[in-house]
Protein backbone atom coordinates (compact mmCIF):
# COMPACT_ATOMS: atom_id res chain seq x y z
CA UNK A 1 0.00 0.00 0.00
CA UNK A 2 2.84 2.40 0.84
CA UNK A 3 4.44 1.74 -2.56
CA UNK A 4 1.17 2.49 -4.34
CA UNK A 5 0.70 5.74 -2.37
CA UNK A 6 4.29 6.76 -3.11
CA UNK A 7 3.78 6.00 -6.82
CA UNK A 8 0.64 8.13 -6.92
CA UNK A 9 2.40 10.99 -5.12
CA UNK A 10 5.35 10.73 -7.53
CA UNK A 11 3.01 10.79 -10.57
CA UNK A 12 1.22 13.89 -9.26
CA UNK A 13 4.55 15.61 -8.56
CA UNK A 14 5.88 14.74 -12.01
CA UNK A 15 2.71 15.98 -13.71
CA UNK A 16 3.15 19.31 -11.93
CA UNK A 17 6.66 19.56 -13.36
CA UNK A 18 5.62 19.25 -16.99
CA UNK A 19 5.46 22.48 -18.97
CA UNK A 20 3.74 22.48 -22.36
CA UNK A 21 5.54 24.45 -25.07
CA UNK A 22 4.35 25.42 -28.53
CA UNK A 23 7.05 24.72 -31.11
CA UNK A 24 6.16 26.37 -34.40
CA UNK A 25 7.99 27.15 -37.57
CA UNK A 26 8.87 30.84 -37.57
CA UNK A 27 9.05 31.83 -41.26
CA UNK A 28 12.02 33.85 -42.40
CA UNK A 29 12.12 35.98 -45.53
CA UNK A 30 12.40 33.38 -48.30
CA UNK A 31 13.37 33.92 -51.91
CA UNK A 32 10.99 32.62 -54.56
CA UNK A 33 11.54 28.91 -55.20
CA UNK A 34 10.53 26.49 -57.88
CA UNK A 35 7.66 24.49 -56.44
CA UNK A 36 8.76 21.05 -55.27
CA UNK A 37 5.27 19.66 -55.66
CA UNK A 38 5.15 18.04 -52.22
CA UNK A 39 1.80 16.46 -51.41
CA UNK A 40 2.33 15.10 -47.91
CA UNK A 41 4.82 15.38 -45.08
CA UNK A 42 5.24 12.09 -43.25
CA UNK A 43 7.13 12.21 -39.94
CA UNK A 44 8.35 9.37 -37.75
CA UNK A 45 9.85 9.96 -34.32
CA UNK A 46 12.72 7.56 -33.68
CA UNK A 47 13.64 8.90 -30.25
CA UNK A 48 11.96 6.10 -28.34
CA UNK A 49 9.22 6.28 -25.74
CA UNK A 50 9.41 10.06 -25.23
CA UNK A 51 6.81 10.93 -27.86
CA UNK A 52 5.76 14.24 -26.32
CA UNK A 53 8.91 15.35 -24.44
CA UNK A 54 11.21 17.88 -26.13
CA UNK A 55 13.37 19.17 -23.31
CA UNK A 56 14.22 19.45 -19.65
CA UNK A 57 15.17 22.20 -17.22
CA UNK A 58 17.55 20.60 -14.77
CA UNK A 59 17.67 21.31 -11.05
CA UNK A 60 20.92 21.90 -9.17
CA UNK A 61 21.04 18.23 -8.17
CA UNK A 62 21.08 17.11 -11.82
CA UNK A 63 17.49 15.87 -11.95
CA UNK A 64 14.81 17.32 -14.23
CA UNK A 65 12.95 20.15 -12.54
CA UNK A 66 10.63 20.75 -15.50
CA UNK A 67 9.96 18.61 -18.57
CA UNK A 68 9.00 20.43 -21.77
CA UNK A 69 6.19 18.67 -23.60
CA UNK A 70 4.29 19.20 -26.85
CA UNK A 71 0.78 18.11 -27.78
CA UNK A 72 -0.26 15.72 -29.16
CA UNK A 73 3.26 14.41 -29.89
CA UNK A 74 6.57 15.43 -31.43
CA UNK A 75 5.90 13.81 -34.81
CA UNK A 76 2.72 15.88 -35.26
CA UNK A 77 4.47 19.11 -34.25
CA UNK A 78 7.37 18.48 -36.65
CA UNK A 79 4.94 17.53 -39.44
CA UNK A 80 3.08 20.83 -38.96
CA UNK A 81 6.33 22.82 -38.88
CA UNK A 82 7.59 21.25 -42.14
CA UNK A 83 4.18 21.78 -43.76
CA UNK A 84 4.22 25.47 -42.75
CA UNK A 85 7.79 25.86 -44.05
CA UNK A 86 6.86 24.30 -47.40
CA UNK A 87 3.77 26.52 -47.61
CA UNK A 88 5.89 29.62 -46.90
CA UNK A 89 8.14 28.64 -49.82
CA UNK A 90 5.27 27.84 -52.17
CA UNK A 91 6.58 24.26 -52.38
CA UNK A 92 3.33 22.42 -51.70
CA UNK A 93 1.42 20.90 -54.59
CA UNK A 94 -1.79 22.71 -55.53
CA UNK A 95 -3.61 19.37 -55.47
CA UNK A 96 -2.04 17.07 -52.83
CA UNK A 97 -3.69 14.00 -54.38
CA UNK A 98 -1.84 14.61 -57.67
CA UNK A 99 1.50 15.61 -56.16
CA UNK A 100 4.64 14.04 -57.50
CA UNK A 101 6.51 13.84 -54.20
CA UNK A 102 6.08 13.12 -50.51
CA UNK A 103 8.52 14.42 -47.94
CA UNK A 104 9.50 11.82 -45.33
CA UNK A 105 11.18 13.10 -42.16
CA UNK A 106 12.77 10.92 -39.48
CA UNK A 107 13.30 12.65 -36.12
CA UNK A 108 16.58 11.34 -34.73
CA UNK A 109 16.89 14.02 -32.02
CA UNK A 110 14.84 17.00 -30.89
CA UNK A 111 15.75 18.09 -27.41
CA UNK A 112 16.40 21.20 -25.35
CA UNK A 113 18.42 21.21 -22.13
CA UNK A 114 18.87 23.90 -19.54
CA UNK A 115 21.37 23.42 -16.78
CA UNK A 116 23.74 26.37 -16.57
CA UNK A 117 23.07 27.53 -20.11
CA UNK A 118 20.26 26.78 -22.52
CA UNK A 119 20.98 24.55 -25.48
CA UNK A 120 18.99 22.64 -28.05
CA UNK A 121 19.79 20.11 -30.74
CA UNK A 122 17.80 18.86 -33.71
CA UNK A 123 18.77 15.96 -35.97
CA UNK A 124 16.58 14.99 -38.95
CA UNK A 125 16.84 12.68 -41.94
CA UNK A 126 14.82 14.17 -44.82
CA UNK A 127 13.82 12.13 -47.87
CA UNK A 128 12.03 13.28 -51.01
CA UNK A 129 10.08 10.25 -52.24
CA UNK A 130 8.75 9.98 -55.80
CA UNK A 131 5.15 8.76 -55.55
CA UNK A 132 5.17 7.12 -58.97
CA UNK A 133 8.15 4.86 -58.34
CA UNK A 134 8.34 4.81 -54.54
CA UNK A 135 12.06 5.58 -54.84
CA UNK A 136 13.95 8.21 -52.92
CA UNK A 137 14.83 11.13 -55.16
CA UNK A 138 16.84 12.82 -52.41
CA UNK A 139 18.08 12.00 -48.91
CA UNK A 140 19.84 14.38 -46.55
CA UNK A 141 20.64 14.57 -42.87
CA UNK A 142 20.39 17.85 -41.02
CA UNK A 143 21.90 18.56 -37.61
CA UNK A 144 21.54 21.90 -35.88
CA UNK A 145 22.35 23.04 -32.38
CA UNK A 146 22.06 26.30 -30.57
CA UNK A 147 23.40 27.55 -27.26
CA UNK A 148 22.04 30.59 -25.47
CA UNK A 149 24.46 32.85 -23.64
CA UNK A 150 22.26 33.62 -20.62
CA UNK A 151 23.63 32.17 -17.40
CA UNK A 152 20.87 31.08 -15.05
CA UNK A 153 22.61 31.67 -11.75
CA UNK A 154 22.30 35.45 -12.01
CA UNK A 155 18.99 35.93 -13.76
CA UNK A 156 16.83 33.07 -12.46
CA UNK A 157 18.47 32.20 -9.14
CA UNK A 158 19.04 28.61 -10.34
CA UNK A 159 15.32 28.05 -10.98
CA UNK A 160 15.47 27.90 -14.75
CA UNK A 161 12.97 29.07 -17.34
CA UNK A 162 10.91 26.54 -19.34
CA UNK A 163 9.63 29.38 -21.55
CA UNK A 164 13.13 30.53 -22.49
CA UNK A 165 14.26 26.96 -23.16
CA UNK A 166 11.19 26.42 -25.33
CA UNK A 167 12.14 29.52 -27.35
CA UNK A 168 15.69 28.23 -27.95
CA UNK A 169 14.34 24.81 -28.94
CA UNK A 170 11.83 26.42 -31.34
CA UNK A 171 14.55 28.57 -32.95
CA UNK A 172 16.70 25.48 -33.45
CA UNK A 173 13.77 23.61 -35.02
CA UNK A 174 13.16 26.50 -37.45
CA UNK A 175 16.86 26.70 -38.31
CA UNK A 176 17.10 22.98 -39.05
CA UNK A 177 13.97 23.03 -41.25
CA UNK A 178 15.31 26.02 -43.20
CA UNK A 179 18.62 24.27 -43.72
CA UNK A 180 16.89 21.05 -44.82
CA UNK A 181 14.57 22.69 -47.34
CA UNK A 182 17.11 25.18 -48.72
CA UNK A 183 19.70 22.58 -49.71
CA UNK A 184 20.56 22.72 -53.39
CA UNK A 185 20.38 18.92 -53.68
CA UNK A 186 16.72 18.89 -52.72
CA UNK A 187 15.81 21.42 -55.39
CA UNK A 188 17.90 19.61 -58.02
CA UNK A 189 16.28 16.26 -57.18
CA UNK A 190 12.81 17.78 -57.52
CA UNK A 191 13.58 18.93 -61.07
Tell me what pLDDT residue 158 has. 55
pLDDT band, residue 30 (cuts 50/70/90): low
The secondary structure element, H or E, covering residue 176 is helix 162-181
Across the range 17-37, mean pLDDT stands at 73
**Domains of the chain and any CATH numbers:** 2-20+31-190 (3.40.50.10610)
Closest to 191 (Cα-Cα) out of 138, 140, 139, 142: 138
Tell me what pLDDT residue 159 has. 63
| pLDDT at 157 > cutoff 80 | no
> From CA 95, how far away is CA 173, in angstroms rounded?
27
Query: pLDDT tens digit string along 31-53?
Result: 545 567 899 999 999 998 878 99
Mean pLDDT (the chain) is 82
> From CA 54, how far away is CA 120, in angstroms rounded?
9
* Distance, CA of 75 to chain centre: 8
The set of residues, in sequence order, having a beta carbon less than 8 Å from that of 13 and lying 6+ positions away, is: none
118, 168 in Cβ contact below 8 A? yes
Amino acid sequence: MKARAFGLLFAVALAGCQRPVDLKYQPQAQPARDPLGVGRVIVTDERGPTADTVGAVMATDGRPQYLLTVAPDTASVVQRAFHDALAARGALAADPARARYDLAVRVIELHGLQYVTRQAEVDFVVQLVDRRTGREAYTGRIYAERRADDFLTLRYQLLGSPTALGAVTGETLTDSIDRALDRAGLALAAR
